Amino acid sequence: MAPGLETKKRIAYLSEVNTFYNWMTVDGLLKFVKSFHPDLDLEKAAALKSFMNLKGETKIGALSKGQQARLKLIVGLARQADFMLLDEPLAGIDPPSRAKILHALVGEFRQEGQTVVISTHEVKEAEPIFDHVVFLHQGRVVLEGDAETLRAETGRSMEELFGEVSV
C-alpha cells in the first residue's frame, strides 16, 4: 500500500514524542483530531477518558507525562484503524499509567481484528500482551517468532531473549 490518504485511514500512529498543543483541552483535542480523522469514535473516546481517569475540560499542558501518554492512547484506540503503531508507549511513564495503557491495549477497548505493533524497550512489562515478537539489533532482525513458541523452545522469557540478542 502506497503512502497517502488511504494509508492514513487504515493506520493509527502514536509517536513517543508529544505533538499535542498544550493550550487545548482534552475534549478540544479529540474534536480537532476528528476533523481530519473522521473515523475517530467520540463515544469510544468518552469511555476511554473515563477508564483512563481524564477530564475533558483539562488543558493538555496541565497533564502529567503519564496522563499525556494515556491521552495519546485514547486518540489511537478511538480510531477505527486496522493497524495501530505505538512508538515506546511506556517510556518514562509511571507504573499506574503503564498498567492502564496495557489493560486498554488488550481489554475491551481494542477493536476486533486490529493489529497493534509496539516498539518498546520495556519488554518485561509489555511481555504479557505479546503474541508475536520481532527483535531488532542495529536495524536488523535478529530473532522473530510467536511469543509462546519462543518461550517454550528456549525456556526463556521475552525479556531474557531481548537481553541476549541486543548485546
pTM of the model as a whole: 0.76
Rounded CA-CA distance 90/3 in Å is 27
Q: Which residue in 54, 96, 98 sits closest to 75, CA to CA? A: 54
Give the residue, 63 or 131, on which the prediction is more confident: 63
pLDDT band at 89 (very low <50, low <70, confident <90, very high): confident
- In this prediction, residue 45 carries a pLDDT of 95
Render pLDDT for 98-149 as a digit per residue (tens, 0 to 9). Answer: 777 777 777 766 667 778 888 888 888 888 888 899 988 888 999 999 999 9
Looking at domain 5-129, which CATH architecture does it have?
3-Layer(aba) Sandwich (3.40)
pLDDT tens digits, 4-19: 777 777 888 888 777 8
Domain boundaries defined on the chain: 5-129
- Residue 145: CB partners within 8 Å, gap ≥ 6? 132, 133
Give residue 84's Cα distance to chain centre: 7
- Angle between helix axes 65-77 and 95-106 (nearest 10 degrees) is 10
Q: Do 68 and 60 meet the contact criterion of CB atoms below 8 Å apart?
A: yes
Tell which phi-psi region holds residue 31, choosing left (phi > 0), alpha (psi between -120 and 50) or beta: alpha
When pLDDT is cut at 50, 70 and 90, the band that residue 54 belongs to is: very high
Measure the CA angle with vertex 45, ends 88 and 100; round to 5°: 45
What is the average pLDDT across 61-66? Answer: 91
Measured distance CA(79)–CA(111) in Å, rounded:
9
